[in-house]
Chain A
Amino acid sequence: MTAGPAGEFDLDLPPPGRIAGRATGWWGMVTGLVALASMHSTLLFAHVYLAARAQAWPPAGTDAPGLVPASIATAVLMLSGVAGAVAHSAAGTGGTRRLQAATAVTALLGAVFVTLAVGDLRGLELEMRAHVYDATFVVFWAFAVFMIAIGIAGLVFIQFQLWGARLDQRQRLLAVNAALWWYFAIGCWLAVYGTLYLGAGVWR
C-alpha cells in the first residue's frame, strides 16, 4: 500500500500480468461489438416484423431453404469456434506457436464455412428485387458472413504479425480481440441460421 493522498487504496501499479480486470483494448472491442450487435439486431427485427405481417413467409412460390447445406456450414463454423477458443487461451498465456496454429486453423475453417455458405446462397437463387423476403434474407445473411470475412482478415493479419516476431503484450491483446470478434461473428451467424433456416416454417 502506498500512503498516497487517497489513503484507502493502493496507488502502486500491480505487476504486469497481474492486473485485476480487463485491458483497455478488451473494453474497446466489447464496446464496438455492442454497436455492431445492435445493427445486427435491427436486421433481425426487420425480418421478424416483415415476416409476422406477411401472409406467407417465405412467400407463396418460394421454397424454404434446405437445412442440410446450411447445417453443415454451421457445424464447420462451430468447429472454428473451438479453434478460436484455443487461440483465445493461447493469446492469454500460451506461446507463439500455439497461437499461430490455432489462428490458422480458425481462419481456415472460417474460409471453408464462407465457401459453403456462399454456395448454399447461390443455390437458393434469391431475387432481391422480386420480394422483400429475398432481400431480407440476403442482407441478414450477408451481414453475418461479412462479419466472418472480416474476422478471417483479422486472423490473417495476426499471422503476418506473428511471423518471426516475439509475442508481446500488444499482439496478445490483438489476438484476444480477434477471438472476441470471432465469437461475435459466430453469434451473428447463429441468429441467421436460427431464423432464416431453422425458423423458416414458423411464419408459414
Chain B
Amino acid sequence: MTTVTGDRLEDVWATRPGLVGWLGAVNHKQVGQRFIATAFVFFLVGGVQSLFMRYQLGSPESTFLDPETYNQLFTMHGTTMMFLFAVPIGEAFGIYFVPLMLGARDMPFPRLNAFGYWAYLFGGIFLYSSFLAGSVPDSGWYAYPPLSGPEYSPRSNLDFWLLGVTFVEVSGVIAAFEIVVLILRFRAPGMAISRMPLFVWSLLVTATMILVAFPPLIMGTVLLELDRKVGTGFYDPAVGGDPMLWQHIFWWFGHPEVYIILLPAIGIVSAILPVFTRTRIVGYTFIAAATVAIGILSFGVWVHHMFTTGINLLGLTFFTAGSLLITIPGGVQIFAFIATLWRGRPVFKPPLLHVIGFLVVFVFGGLSGVMVASVPFDWQAHDTYFVVAHFHYVLIGGVLFPVLAGLTYWLPKMTGRLLDDRLGTVAFWLLFAGFNLTFLPQHVVGLLGMPRRVYTYPSGIGWDVYNLLSTVGAFVVAAGMAVFVADVVRSRWRGAPAGDDPWGGNTLEWATTSPPEPFNFRVIPIATTRDPLWDERPLDLAGGPAWRRELAHPVVSRREMVSTSVLDAAPHEVLTLPIHSLWPLGLAAALGVFLIGVMVDRTSIGLVGLAGLAVCVIGWLWSRQDEP
C-alpha cells in the first residue's frame, strides 16, 4: 500500500495500491523478486520429486512407485529443474540485480519484462496442470520422438509438455532480450564496457546465447506439436521425416543450455569472490574473454550428446575436439577464481562456503565431463548412472551452489535483513556432504552397468549398497535445504538489519539502501572504475550535469532513466518508462487461453485466445502508461 509522500520521485516510483497495483507492477525489482521466488518454489517441487525417486531406488525391487509414475517423476523433475528453475533463476538474478549493478532504475521495457514473468508462471502452471488432468509427461526431459510422437504418446501428456515448455521458453527469450538491451544501453555514465562487473558480462553472454539457442527449440516443439495435432510427419520416417532432426534441434539448444545455466553462476561467483577475499578479482579480462569464448564454443559441441547415434567419424572427431576445447576457457575461469582465493584473505561466511562448494563440485563434474567427451568412453558410459552422476555434479555444482551463494549474498540487499551465519554454515555442510553422498556412489554403480531411467533393479548384483547410500544422501540434502529455507523465513522477522552494505561490496548495488528504494538511485551514480565502491567511497553523488539533478528532483511526475552509449557509456538521453500496466498480464492470460484451445482441440477457445491476444497487443502499443 502506498502513501503519497510529497516527494515526486518517490510518489511516481511507488507501486499502486491494492491487488490491481500488485498485478500491474512492472518495476524490475518486483518482477525479479517474483521470478526468484517462483523459480525457487519450482526447485523445491522438483526436489521433492527426486526424493520420491530416490526412496524408490533405495532398495532393490521396491514397489513404492510403479514404472509409469517413475517415468513421470524423472520427466517432471528434469523438466522442472532445467526449464523452470535453472534457466529462470539466472535470468531472475539478472533482472533484479543487473539494473542495480549498472546504476540504472529499471529494465528498458518494463511491461515486456512483466509479461515475461507472467508467461513463465503460466507456463509452469500449465505444465503442472498435467497432474490434475491425470496425464503427466513421461518421455524424459528431452522428449525424444518417436516416444513423444502421436503414435507412442497418444494421450495429452506430451501436449502439456510441449505447450508448457514453449510458453516458458518465450519468457526466457523475452528476459534475455531485456537483459541485452539493458546492458548495452543503460549502464551508469562512465561504466565503459571494459568496466562492467563480471556478473554483468556473464549475463550479457548468457542472454545473447538464449536469443540464439531458445528460438530453435520453440520452433522444434511447434513442429512436434504439429506432428501430434495436425498429423504432419516432421519426425516420422514413414512420411519422409526423421526423428534425428529433433535431436539436432534439441541439442543445438540443449548444449548451450548447459552454459546458459552455468554462466550466470560463474557471474555470481565472480561477484562474491572479491568481496569475500577482500581483494580484486584476478584476471578480469581473462574471465570476461573466457565467458565470451564459452558462449561461442558452446554452439560447436551439441553433437556430443549424440555420439552413440551413428554420426560419421569426421563428425565425431570434430565434436570431440570441440568438447575438449571448451574446457580451456572453463579452466581459465576456475584458475582465476583459485588465484583470487589464494591472493586474498578469505572470510569463510556462507556465501563464500557455497562458492567453494561450487568450485569443488563443479571441477569434479568437469573431470567426469572430460571422460565422457571422449567417444570410446562415452560408448560405454552412455545412458548409465555414470552420466546421471556427471550431470548432477555439473548442474548442482554449477547452479545450485552458486544460486545459494547468490541468495545468501544478496538477500540482505533485497530484504534489508541478514541471514544467520551459523544456520547458513550448517545448511552448507549438510548440502555439501549430502550431495556427495548421493552422487559419488552413482559413478561406481554406473560403471557397474546400472542404466539410468530404470524404476527398480534386482538385488544381489552389487548395486544395492550404492543406491542405499545415494538415497540417504538425498535426504541429507533435503535436510540442508530445510535449514536454508528456515533461515530465510527466520530472517524475515528475526534477522539483524543489514544496512546498505553489510559485506563491504565493490559494485553499485551496495551504494543504495537495503531494500533498494523503488527508483534504485536518487542520484544516478557515475562509475569510472571496475570496483566503484572500493575506489570512490563515498560515491560522488553531488553535482554533475543538469540532467542528473533533474532526475534526482524531477519536475514532472514521470519515471525517468538515462540511456548511455554502447561502448563507453556516455549519457545519451533521458527516457520515460511505463509506471503500471495490466496489459502484460492480459497478454499472458490470452496466450494461455489460446494454448488451452490447442491442447483440448477446441477451435472456439483458441479463437477467444487469439482475439484476446489481438486486443492486448493493440492496447499495449497504443497506450504509453508512463503518466500517473
Residues of A bordering B, CB below 8 Å: 2, 4-14, 16, 19-21, 24, 27-28, 31-32, 34-36, 38-39, 41-43, 45-46, 49-50, 53-54, 59, 128-133, 135-136, 139, 157, 161, 170
Q: Are A50 and B242 in touch, CB under 8 angstroms?
A: yes
Residue from A19, A32, A132 in contact with B241 in the complex, judged by beta carbons closer than 8 Å: A132
Residue from A5, A24, A27, A132 in contact with B233 in the complex, judged by beta carbons closer than 8 Å: A132
Q: Mark B175-191, 1 if CB is under 8 A from A, else 0.
A: 01100110011000110
Residues of B contacting A59 in the complex (Cβ-Cβ under 8 angstroms): 240
Q: Are A6 and B216 in touch, CB under 8 angstroms?
A: no
CB-CB nearest 8 A-B residue pairs: A135-B232, A132-B240, A42-B216, A39-B215, A42-B219, A6-B190, A5-B540, A38-B215
Q: Are B226 and A139 in touch, CB under 8 angstroms?
A: yes
18 new A-B pairs (CB below 8 Å) besides A35-B177, A39-B215? A4-B526, A9-B190, A10-B571, A13-B562, A24-B108, A24-B181, A31-B177, A31-B211, A35-B176, A38-B215, A41-B216, A45-B248, A45-B249, A53-B242, A130-B239, A131-B240, A157-B621, A161-B622
Task: Kindly identify, within residues 216 to 236 of chain B, every residue whose CB is under 8 Å from any CB belonging to chain A.
Answer: 216, 218-220, 223, 226, 230-234, 236
A170 vs B546: C-alpha distance when bound (angstroms): 23
Q: Which stretch of B65-73, B265-273, B490-498, B572-580 is in the interface? A: B572-580
Q: Given A11-B526, A24-B563, A132-B240, does the pair A38, B211 have CB atoms closer than 8 Å?
A: yes
A88 vs B220: C-alpha distance when bound (angstroms): 34
Q: Given A31-B211, A129-B230, does the pair A10, B216 have CB atoms closer than 8 Å?
A: no
Residues of B contacting A130 in the complex (Cβ-Cβ under 8 angstroms): 239
Residues of A contacting B109 in the complex (Cβ-Cβ under 8 angstroms): 28
Residues of A contacting B226 in the complex (Cβ-Cβ under 8 angstroms): 135, 139
Jot down 8 A-B pairs with beta carbons below 8 A, ordered by A.
Answer: A9-B568, A13-B545, A13-B574, A14-B572, A35-B176, A38-B212, A39-B218, A50-B234
Residue from B184, B231, B245, B622 in contact with A50 in the complex, judged by beta carbons closer than 8 Å: B245
Residues of B contacting A12 in the complex (Cβ-Cβ under 8 angstroms): 545-547, 571
Residues of B contacting A11 in the complex (Cβ-Cβ under 8 angstroms): 189, 526, 544-545, 548, 570-571
Q: Given A21-B565, A139-B223, does the pair A31, B245 have CB atoms closer than 8 Å?
A: no
Q: Are A129 and B177 in touch, CB under 8 angstroms?
A: no
Residues of B contacting A41 in the complex (Cβ-Cβ under 8 angstroms): 216
Q: Who on chain A is nearest to B170 by CB?
A: A35
Task: Kindly identify, within residues 540 to 589 of chain B, every residue whose CB is under 8 Å from any CB belonging to chain A.
Answer: 540, 543-548, 562-563, 565-566, 568, 570-575
Interface SS, A side: helix
Residues of A contacting B173 in the complex (Cβ-Cβ under 8 angstroms): 35
Residue from A2, A4, A13, A136 in contact with B234 in the complex, judged by beta carbons closer than 8 Å: A136
Residue from B176, B239, B544, B546 in contact with A5 in the complex, judged by beta carbons closer than 8 Å: B544
Question: Smallest CB–CB gap between A68 and chain B, Å?
Answer: 27
B536 at the binding interface (Cβ < 8 Å): yes
Question: Smallest CB–CB gap between A23 and chain B, Å?
Answer: 8
Please classify how large the interface on chain B is, using the bins under 10, 10 to 19, 20 to 34, 35 or more: 35 or more
B603 at the binding interface (Cβ < 8 Å): no
B618 at the binding interface (Cβ < 8 Å): yes
Residues of B contacting A14 in the complex (Cβ-Cβ under 8 angstroms): 572-573
Q: Are B566 and A21 in touch, CB under 8 angstroms?
A: yes
Residues of B contacting A34 in the complex (Cβ-Cβ under 8 angstroms): 211-212
Q: Are A42 and B249 in touch, CB under 8 angstroms?
A: yes
Residue from A5, A21, A49, A129 in contact with B231 in the complex, judged by beta carbons closer than 8 Å: A129
Q: Are B219 and A39 in touch, CB under 8 angstroms?
A: yes
Q: Who on chain B is nearest to A34 by CB?
A: B211
A132 vs B624: C-alpha distance when bound (angstroms): 45
A4 vs B570: C-alpha distance when bound (angstroms): 12
Residues of B contacting A5 in the complex (Cβ-Cβ under 8 angstroms): 190, 526, 528, 536, 540, 544
A161 vs B623: C-alpha distance when bound (angstroms): 11
Q: Mark B610-628, 1 if CB is under 8 A from A, else 0.
A: 0000000010011010000
Q: Who on chain A is nearest to B246 by CB?
A: A46
A58 vs B233: C-alpha distance when bound (angstroms): 15
Question: Smallest CB–CB gap between A151 and chain B, Å?
Answer: 14
Q: Are B239 and A20 in touch, CB under 8 angstroms?
A: no
Q: Are B185 and A31 in touch, CB under 8 angstroms?
A: no
Q: Who on chain B is nearest to A138 by CB?
A: B232
Residues of A contacting B215 in the complex (Cβ-Cβ under 8 angstroms): 35-36, 38-39, 42
Question: Smallest CB–CB gap between A142 and chain B, Å?
Answer: 11
Q: Are B211 and A135 in touch, CB under 8 angstroms?
A: no
Question: Smallest CB–CB gap between B558 and chain A, Å?
Answer: 14
Question: Smallest CB–CB gap between A108 and chain B, Å?
Answer: 21
Q: Are B563 and A46 in touch, CB under 8 angstroms?
A: no
Q: Given A4-B545, A132-B236, does the pair A27, B231 have CB atoms closer than 8 Å?
A: no
A157 vs B233: C-alpha distance when bound (angstroms): 38
Question: Smallest CB–CB gap between B198 and chain A, Å?
Answer: 21
Task: Kindly identify, within residues 590 to 625 of chain B, every residue whose CB is under 8 Å from any CB belonging to chain A.
Answer: 618, 621-622, 624
Residues of B contacting A129 in the complex (Cβ-Cβ under 8 angstroms): 230-233, 239
Q: Who on chain B is nearest to A59 by CB?
A: B240
Residues of B contacting A16 in the complex (Cβ-Cβ under 8 angstroms): 573
Residues of A contacting B624 in the complex (Cβ-Cβ under 8 angstroms): 170
Q: Who on chain B is nearest to A134 by CB?
A: B232
Residue from A10, A43, A135 in contact with B570 in the complex, judged by beta carbons closer than 8 Å: A10
